[in-house]
Structures are given as structure tokens and as C-alpha cells.
Amino acid sequence: MEARIGTRKAFAVAPLFILLFFFNTCGLPQGISLALLLLPVWIYLLHIRGRLSYVALLLTPMTVFAAVHLLNGADPFYYLLSAAMLLGTGVFAIAAWPALSDPALDYESLFRKIIRINAVLALLSLPFLFVPALKESVWYVMSMSEGVRVIPRLKLFTYEASHYSYLIAPLFIFVAAAVLFRTRRMRDAPLLLLLTGIPLLLSLSFGVLGALLLSALLTVLIRFRTVFYNGKRITVLIAALVLLGIAAYLLLRVFPDNLLTQRLVNIMSGKDTSARGRTYESFILAEKIISGKSQLWGIGPGQLKLEGRNIIIQYYSYSRIPDSVRIPNACAETLVCFGYIGLCIRLAAQLILFITTRVYKSPFRLWLFLFLFIFQFTGSFITNVTEYVYWMIAFAAAPFAARSVSLKSPARLGN
């Protein structure tokens, strides 16, 4: 009976998960999401489940930080507004955790649904390229880098192409992990890889693709024996490396003016303002901003527009001053809001949960964790509900419980 109830609960999660996956930020300002607007629903769920006391785990450190920030002169209105958004994100995470960690939740079935829906939506977005009035509703049309021609990048219903790419990257990881690490039998894995890989390429987010590649290499190195358990697979590896080498040569020598080469050259030479702004410049600006108040505690949520606006504008010497400024990097934004104490808490919590939930036992969860850990230094923001959902999936051990099998068998090794 309990198993059937758990299955029904898990099944009920799917429609809400799919809704939030595709429309969580549709038509909403940066930082606002459907998950935050549904805060009363999450509070009600916590109340009927007797879990409202868990909110105290958030309120206690937030109260300590608030006392320090307000004593340091933080603007109360903007502070409370941003702190409420952070609290709402935390409440959503607490409410979602039981469902996302439920052993009865079939992630493979859920991800398959999302992959197919996403593929259909990506296909339907192609005609929009030829309708100027609708084009920018699902395509991101802005220059990626200096000297690189403007080409449309798929974003569907998110803020921009990089957010969309970040959204679907874990789906690609799930399917690729099944192929590389034999975590589950998926006969249609090649098709699913195409259905996730093509939209990833259409989004052309170098930050996400770079984090995806680096996390993949680290995961393969850590789980090398699982991937290359016989000579046939090693031969495939060598063949893949040769093909990559040939492709790299063609791009660099035969077609040097291609988009990929131009962007990489700009990144390596420091001409790519987007790459700079999302990586080391975010930390340079964060350090400049907090040095005027408190490096340990930061300036507080909502204070960037007051304390950091002039610093950012002067740093970039904008010819056209933007209406709003932000730090497009989750770790750097944490540093601005909560200082080095907050950044240490963020990273320590991730590493502690990595150990206590034994993320390293599962190739999929390990790859997902490494991807999220790397990307937080190159993008995202601290109220990104999607990021917290993916962190919870990485820490959810029960739905991906390992099964011991022989390495010579293509059976399940655990997910």
C-alpha cells in the first residue's frame, strides 16, 4: 500500500515539474519565477506536512546577516524585498525536497517526457526565425563577442540562451551517463542524445558547453574503469580523439573564420566581454564593491543597485548606461551579498552534502554535481530556482540507488 501511495505521489510531481521546467521564468523579470510566485502553496504544503519548522534553518542565519547588514547601513526596503525572494527560494527547496528525493519518483520517465516536449518546442521555434515580430520571443538575438556576427540562439521561454542551455544540460548528462557508465538500459539513447544535444548546440552557450565538457572529463577520469572496461571501448576512445583532432584542425586551419574559432580566440585574448564579465571580472567587481563595507559579511541582498551601480558603470565605462546592473555569477553574487563568510558557507554546504549523500557513488549524480559546481563560478544567480532543483537532484540518493553488477555486463550499475 505504501509503495502505491509513493508511486501516486511521484506521478503527481511530474506535471508540476514539467510546468516549472518550461515556464518558470516565462515573461517574468530577472530573479522572479513562477516557483517564487507560488510561495503560498509551498508554505501550505509545509504546514500540512508538519515541516514549517524547517524554515527556521533559513531564518536563523538570515537574521544574523540581516542584523549585521542593517547596522552597516543597508537600505531596509531593498534589503527586505531581496531577502524575501531568497527566503522564498529556500522555502520552495524545503517543500520540493521530499518529492525530488522520493525513491518512487521515476526520473527516467520524467526526463524522457521533458526531452520529447523540449524537442517538439525547439522544432516549432524554427519557423519563428522567419517571422521578425516573433523571432525574439524564443530566440536570443544579440552579439556573443567582438567581431562575431550576430546569429540567433535558442532560448525558448527563458531569459536568454545561456539560461536555456543550463536548463537542458542535466538532461543531456542523464542520457550520456547511461551510455558512458551503463547506468541503465536505454535502447533509444542515441535518439535522446540527439534530442538534447541539438538544442544545446542551438543555444550556443559556451559557458554551459565548457562546464559540461570539463565536468565530463573529470567524471570519466574518476570513473575510468567503469567507462573503459574492455579493449573495444578503448578503441572507440582512440577513434573519437582522432576525429576530434581532425575536426579541430579543420576549424583552425581550413575554416579559420568560423564562429567557434572566432569566439575561442576572443576568449583567449580577453576580447570576449561576456566571458570576462561572467568569470574573473565578476569577482574583481565583487571585491571592489564589498571592500567599501565589509569583506567578511558583504553588503546585503538588494544593495547592489545602490552600492555597486556606480562601481560597475565606472569599471566598464559604458557609453550607454544600462537601466540595471548585476553580477552574472552565482558565487560572485554570494560574495557581494554575504561576503566571504557567505561564500564559505555556500561551498562548505555543497561539499558536506556531497560527502553525506555519497554523490560519488553514482556516475550521473557525480557528473551533475561537478557540472553545477563548475558553472556556479561562470554564471547563474542566487535566486535561480532551477539551480537549486538540480542541486537537490544531485543530492537525492534514493531514486538513484546503485545496484551491484559485473563490470562485464551492460546492466545497470546505479544512476
pLDDT value at 2 more than 70:
no
pLDDT tens profile 372-405: 999 999 999 999 999 999 999 999 998 887 443 3
Give the largest CA-CA distance in the chain. Answer: 66
Residue 209 placed within a domain: yes
As a whole number, the mean pLDDT across the chain is 86
Contact present, 316 and 276 (Cβ < 8 Å): no
Tell me whether residue 410 is in a domain.
no
Q: For 280-314, how does the pLDDT look when each residue is reduced to its tens digit (9 = 90+)?
A: 899 999 999 999 889 999 999 999 988 888 898 88
pLDDT score recorded for residue 241 = 76
Q: How many angstroms from the chain centroid is the CA of residue 326?
A: 18
Q: Confirm whether 408 is domain-assigned.
A: no
Share of the chain above pLDDT 70, in %: 89
User: How many domains does one find in the chain?
Assistant: 1
Residue 370 counted as domain residue: yes
Domain of residue 133 covers 2-400
Asked whether the predicted pLDDT for residue 369 surpasses 90, the reply is: yes
Residue 409 lies in a domain: no
pLDDT tens for each residue of 159-195 = 889 999 999 999 999 999 998 887 778 888 889 999 9
Q: What is the pLDDT of residues 123-150, one digit of tens each?
A: 999 999 999 888 999 999 887 666 667 7
In this structure, what are the phi and psi dihedrals at residue 101, rounded to the nearest 5 degrees? -100, 5
**Mean pLDDT score, 339-357:** 97
* C-alpha 145, offset from chain centre: 22
Reported as type and span, the H/E element at residue 140 is strand 139-140
> Within a domain: residue 413?
no
Is 241 a domain residue? yes
Tell me the pTM: 0.90
Q: Give CA angle at 158 (212, 84), nearest 5°.
A: 100
Residue 405 resides in a domain: no
The per-residue pLDDT for range 36-73, each reduced to its tens digit, is 999 999 999 899 988 998 998 889 999 999 999 999 99
Question: What confidence tens digit (pLDDT) does each residue in 78-107 have?
Answer: 999 999 999 999 999 999 999 999 888 889
